[in-house]
Structure 1
């Protein structure tokens, strides 16, 4: 899953949760939820696929671990107790949803890191660095790359729904 998939599906999950718990709309800052939804990839893709590509050759490292989400959650809870601020919890929630969307439980060596050792598994792709980013971006919009393609289209649709609702609220406040 790539940018639109993670962002849209995370916002969609928030929308569903806020239907059953309307108070979430006032508690959760969507900007932090959105950043959290992208955070594991924002950390891991540049580190594992570009900067340390020859050593790691893996775009799912530190940010895709349960430990990372747990630490973010603990920091979020601490900030909430200290200053009654839910931003850290929103960031941690977005990051955890990212792990669920990537189905990281199918990669237990990464997901439960460091329980099974300190090293991360190497990916089997031949391309790394900027070449990896360009190929993945190009492939994300090919229907043959179906799982990612479907997630991206669904994410774009959900983002469009959020954008329309946001515009409606802004216009109704203005007039």
Structure 2
């Protein structure tokens, strides 16, 4: 499934959770999680590790990474009362489901079913760009995203508090910024571990 389609699903999941928890941050983190596997795996597999993998659905499309986010999310929720990682984990899970990852068990259950199979992708990013721009459904999903964001922005603007000081809003903003920073650091750590520790080890074994 393509980028904007994934993001629409993430936004929908986020808005559903918002109706339950009344926390705007869940929308952002679900949306991030819904596109995170492609944001990480495509540059990682097709640029950084192209010589050994040349694949677009690798580590962040696996259940292992999902499990790590889920465990981290439970820890962060328990000790810091933030749902950021759990929402990102939900987005990643939805992404994997929409990519039908069970049809690629060697990737979904990696590394338990053996190493990745090396692929060949010529001019991958150009072909993806052309595919995105020429797909009517992607334009529909992009329009849906803009409508959703516009509607949400208008709704929140109309409901903004008259009194400026709002401790609850300040706490939500703090959780948003700290959550974004935490997720970014976690993703960076996992990516560096894959590039410099795990993948060289796998290459030697192969």
What interval of TM-score do these two structures reach, taking the shorter chain for normalisation? Answer: 0.7 to 0.9
DSSP-derived class of the 1:26 partner = coil
Are 1:141 and 2:133 counterparts? yes
Change beyond 3 A, Cα 1:121–1:154: farther
After TM superposition, the score normalised by the length of structure 1 is: 0.81
Are 1:40 and 2:32 counterparts? no
Work out whether residues 73 and 89 of structure 1, in 8 Å CA contact, stay in contact via their aligned partners in 2. yes
In structure 2, stretches of 5+ residues that fail to align are 163-206
Work out whether residues 3 and 35 of structure 2, in 8 Å CA contact, stay in contact via their aligned partners in 1. yes
Q: Could you say which residue in structure 2 is the equivalent of 1:30? A: 27
CA distance in 1, matches of 2:103, 2:141: 22
In structure 1, stretches of 5+ residues that fail to align are 144-148
Q: Could you say which residue in structure 2 is the equivalent of 1:5? A: 5
Superposed displacement of residue 32, structure 1: 1.5
Instruction: Let me know the Cα RMSD of the aligned residues.
Output: 2.2
Q: Could you say which residue in structure 2 is the equivalent of 1:146? A: none
CA distance in 2, matches of 1:91, 1:78: 14
Range 45-54 or range 75-84, more displaced = 45-54
Moved over 4 A (4+): none
Q: Could you say which residue in structure 1 is the equivalent of 2:196? A: none
CA distance in 1, matches of 2:145, 2:22: 16
Bigger radius of gyration, 1 or 2?
2
2:87 to 61, 85, 90: 90
Deviations 1:29-52 (A, max 9, x none): 222212111111111100111121
Work out whether residues 13 and 30 of structure 2, in 8 Å CA contact, stay in contact via their aligned partners in 1. no
Work out whether residues 8 and 157 of structure 1, in 8 Å CA contact, stay in contact via their aligned partners in 2. no
Change beyond 3 A, Cα 1:78–1:33: same
After TM superposition, the score normalised by the length of structure 2 is: 0.70
Superposed displacement of residue 157, structure 1: 3.8
